[in-house]
Structure 1
Amino acid sequence: MSGDAFRTFAKGMALGMQSGSISVPYHLLRCYRQLKLNDTEAMLLIQLIGFKQQEMKDFPTIDELQERMGTAPELVIKSLQRLLKDGFISIDEEIDAATDIQYERYNLTGLWEKMAVLVTEEIRAERQRLRQSSALTDSDQPNLFNIFEKEFGRPLSPMECETIAGWIDQDHYPEELILLALKEAVFAGKVHFRYVDRILLEWSRNRVRSIEDAKAYTQKFRSSGR
């Protein structure tokens, strides 16, 4: 095979691999140890997801799983038994409407529910940590989360709490800038997180680092009629 032909073949293979990808929840890869799963059990779950998404097989055989994973059938059976026992998966029995034949399929609802509980607990813990770390000197004054809840007129969702945590921990926005962005959103009558995030991003792009910078930029922004 010539160099050009090889490169063409490799490019085609790469495209084929991309088209054959599956969707594996990031939280499964990140948190399977916290779910008390070992490597074999986590890989078995990924294989079940892959069989369902790419091959439309809801109930792959032990031989198919063993061949795909390259491990002993006994280990596959043991891992399946543990996943069933601990509620990560279940087996549903259904009747095919066209043929009236009974068939079985793996149900991964238990896995999704366990991951959802874990992620929710992480968000709750992060929210509590941020509440404590962002508590103002005067305990009677509300913290960042309380202020957002007051302006929104409702409790914040876990995803919204995670957004605030990301602004602080990942984007490193000062709390006073976040509050000022919230005030700008309220002033504009657009009290939602996407608008607050857009303000913070705009300030970051224009090197706004302090309250004074933000006020000067906002004044300039309004004066220009943008």
Structure 2
Amino acid sequence: MNEYIKFIRISVNKLLIDHYAKIGLDEKLTILLIRLIEYSNDGSKEISFDDIIEGSTFTPEELSILIQKLIKENFININTKVIDGKHIETYDFNPLYNKLENVIMNKKESTYTDNDIKNLFQYIEKLYGRTLGPSEYERMTAWLRDDGYSTENIKEGIDIAYKNNVTSLSYVEKILHSMKKEDTNEPNVPFINWLEGD
């Protein structure tokens, strides 16, 4: 049995292992992401805390805090989809993959000033008619800091979403990804799934 164990290989995202520190992760968050990705591979069932905790040193309380941190710092999103008539929460790792792509492609981050950020937030607050929350500030700052979007890109994405009567940042993020992918000023507007609240 010992000889057999030596040759077991588990597929792990090598880019994540090689660059986790560069994108702002520590070892604990990296291990958690690896476990989440592994359990999410088939996407056919909801991942329980028990699944993630089994065989690890994570406690339920710590796990909850770490997952919230991954969401807040824009490494993962949580989506809801319907499987066999049941609503199931699934993890979306595209924000993580975008950060890794930026690292390996040596992409330069957008240059922006505090005044640029202030003007961006004031523009959005005036458009939405309300004050932005701390999580919204953090998410949009991550778009500038980690994803390399310019304030003009973000304004354009916000405008497109607003014209479609949507103020969800998840929806705006899909528009930004579309703009980056197609490198055009006329991105495909994502389909709005009202059941998922995007």
TM-score normalised by structure 1 residue count? 0.43
By percentage of residues, which structure has more helix? 1
Highest CA radius of gyration, 1 or 2? 1
Q: TM-score, normalised by structure 2?
A: 0.48
